[in-house]
Structure 1
Amino acid sequence: MMDIPKPANPVTTLLPFILPFFLLMWRLPYHSPVEATFCVYIFIVFYAFLKSLWIKNHSVADEMWSIMPVYYAYIFAATSGSARSKIMFSLVAAWAIRMSYNFYRKGGYKGLEDHRWGKLRETIRNPILWQLFNFFFICVTQNALLLFICLPGYFAPNDSLNLIDIVATLLNLGFLLLESIADNQQWNFQKEKQRLISEKKELTKEFKNGFLSRGLFRYSRHPNFFGEIGIWWSFYLFTQSFNLSIIGPISLTLLFQGSSNFTEKISASKYPEYKVYQKITSKIIPWFPQKWQE
């Protein structure tokens, strides 16, 4: 059962994390965007690692997921000043607001650790190896990914807006809406399941199965992942050329492939019907499902 705690106040939780960046932003005019983003990246890597050691929680990167791209997008927009860069920053800001709200209502800012890290610790039992994994994957790699997905802001041209910009903006907003609907459907399902269990009421078929398989989840086992991946591929479209920033959406796509595999392994071990769901429903890209066999 998914635990849905009372949301915490994100301002008091993240204040020590946010304040140092005002100093970095103040120094922005004296640095190139590459230097500025590198400084922010190095700071946040060591911040995440030291905080994870201090609070013995390895979900610090989750607190940053919706915040760091705003800083990187701001740096690129501030140093470019073009209309395109401002649109790109606005899209990242809209994404961040939605992502932060979803994380907040799940109680993420209370310092709850992602259950998947606990599962991984059962595999990586050596404390030294675990801290190496913590530093290089959780802190270094995941924060590098947050920088990579924003790199299109650096490679975007400074010329006049065109049709590609309109298409990229509409696609980005469309994927944002899709991800929002998927997250809301999952949130409502988990809340209702928890209510039924707490009131000791009989669970209907879907709640008895333990996982959501209707709405957008009828066409994709991870429609929220599809929306997130689409957001950053459409963000890359603003560059209007093949360039190094493609590493961002590619890395994100690969991350969600691995993350979904690990998550589904856990779900299949908890819910017997999940293996049936896997057979009849597309994994990430929405598609027409097969008929559920009773």
Structure 2
Amino acid sequence: MTGWAGFLTITTASLVFLAVLQTATFAVGHRIGRYNVVDVAWGLGFVGVAWIGVLIGGGDPLRNWLLTILVTVWGLRLTWHMYVKSKGRGEDPRYVDLLERSGGNGLGTIARKIFGIQGGSQWFVSLPLQVSAVSESTGLLPVLALGTLLWIVGVSFEAIGDAQLRKFKADPANKGKIMDRGLWAWTRHPNYFGDSSVWWGLWLIAASAWPGVLTVLSPVAMTYFLVYATGARLLEKTMSRRPGYPEYQRRTSYFLPRPPRSRRHADT
């Protein structure tokens, strides 16, 4: 199934899948009394869209199976990480702040501001996968290879950064301290930087064949979410209240990795 008819079929199926996923996640969140469970469904939604595309679409098999495998590896790792991270914990301060700014925690507001926006974002960000699924062109192999390399960099930043933070928090001696080691010394948000890199890599793979390049706003939107909308900016608002974090901010890059400033230079 290719062409515009194929795309309409895939994008409709993707929308239905994401709507069902977010509705089920909302029901789970309502039952357990916290809505950060939506983060567990984030990666899972993209995995579902990728498989819909590769099973229904008639695009180039090499490119589409590569995209599906990469999205599945990334998405399932992220899903498991978010499940372990949120299990047994209270609500994420980001969502508390979001609902307060949105006028309260009524079910309609929660469904619209958290789950509705999340589902719509998943659909829009996954457009490179949907378009690639119906593109028959083989594409440019060097661009495909570059996208795969960028994906590797991104998923490595995510996985290593998460592992380093988990190990840091598991040590009782670090209680109350700010994580500023390993990748966290180069960027205050290695996981968000890695996530952005993953999606720029996936877009490059899709863009290796026309008309994948036209979906460039999808990785732009993902990067915006990670940096400004629901990611780093909201987390920084909460973390900046902790002792030692303002000093960490002065010596460590906000998003793009770069060598850390020394403590002496950061204080001048």
1:102-141 residue pairs with structure 2 within 5 A?
Answer: 102-106=81-85, 108-109=86-87, 112-120=90-98, 126-128=104-106, 131-141=107-117
The answer as to 2:202 corresponding to 1:235 is yes
Query: Which 4+ runs in 1 deviate beyond 6 A?
Result: none
Whole-Å separation in 2 of the counterparts to 1:215 and 1:275: 19
> Does the C-alpha gap of structure 1 residues 173 and 126 become closer, same or farther in structure 2, counting only changes over 3 Å?
closer
- Which residue of the partner structure matches residue 155 of structure 2? 176
The answer as to 2:222 corresponding to 1:252 is yes
* Alpha-carbon distance, 1:211 to partner: 1.2
CA RMSD of aligned residues (A): 2.5
TM-score scaled by structure 1?
0.76
Gaps of at least 5 residues in structure 2 are 1-5
Please, which of 245, 265, 276 is the counterpart of residue 237 of structure 2?
Answer: 265
- Which residue of the partner structure matches residue 73 of structure 1? 50
The answer as to 2:75 corresponding to 1:96 is yes
* Alpha-carbon distance, 1:281 to partner: 1.1
The answer as to 2:12 corresponding to 1:35 is yes
The answer as to 2:143 corresponding to 1:164 is yes
Whole-Å separation in 1 of the counterparts to 2:182 and 2:119: 32
TM-score scaled by structure 2?
0.83
> Does the C-alpha gap of structure 1 residues 103 and 60 become closer, same or farther in structure 2, counting only changes over 3 Å?
closer
Contact 1:80 1:158 in 2 (8 A): no
Identical-residue share of aligned pairs (%):
24
Please, which of 170, 189, 200 is the counterpart of residue 191 of structure 1?
Answer: 170
The number of aligned residues is 249
Contact 1:61 1:143 in 2 (8 A): no
Whole-Å separation in 2 of the counterparts to 1:208 and 1:91: 36
